[in-house]
Amino acid sequence: QVKLLQSGAALVKPGDSVKMSCKASGYTFTDYIIHWVKQSHGKSLEWIGYINPYSGGTNYNEKFKSKATLTVDKSSSTAYMEFSRLTSEDSAIYYCAKGIGAYWGQGTLVTVSS
């Protein structure tokens, strides 16, 4: 069955970067776009961007263009998102999702604190 397994929670300092992963299984990784979505505590969802695992092509929300970098490793069916120059505003749960959103990872909690 389709699964997206995300990396564990991260506690990072302001100004640092964090790289989180999303390991896909149960389907052909290169056939579907992977989306990344942010959810701040108690708030709605924000689309960060997507990556096409086949081509490596990306599409970013302008709001996150200088903050997020999306990559994939086809050999391990894993998508990555690196978030840089972190501030308290970046503390949130980050989700990866396959295709139109029928399958989501369990989320990675990122806490930015000194």
List the interface residues with another protein, window 56-95 (CB under 8 A). Answer: 59, 61-63, 95
List the interface residues with another protein, window 1-30 (CB under 8 A). Answer: none
Least CB distance from residue 73 to another protein, whole Å?
22
Alpha carbons 53 and 13: distance in angstroms, whole number = 30
- Identify any residues that bridge with 78 across adjacent strands, giving them in sequence order: 23, 73
Least CB distance from residue 114 to another protein, whole Å?
27
Under the binding rule (CB under 8 A), the answer on residue 46 touching another protein is yes
The DSSP letter of residue 10 is E
Under the binding rule (CB under 8 A), the answer on residue 44 touching another protein is yes
Joined together, the tokens standing for residue 113 give 């604190």
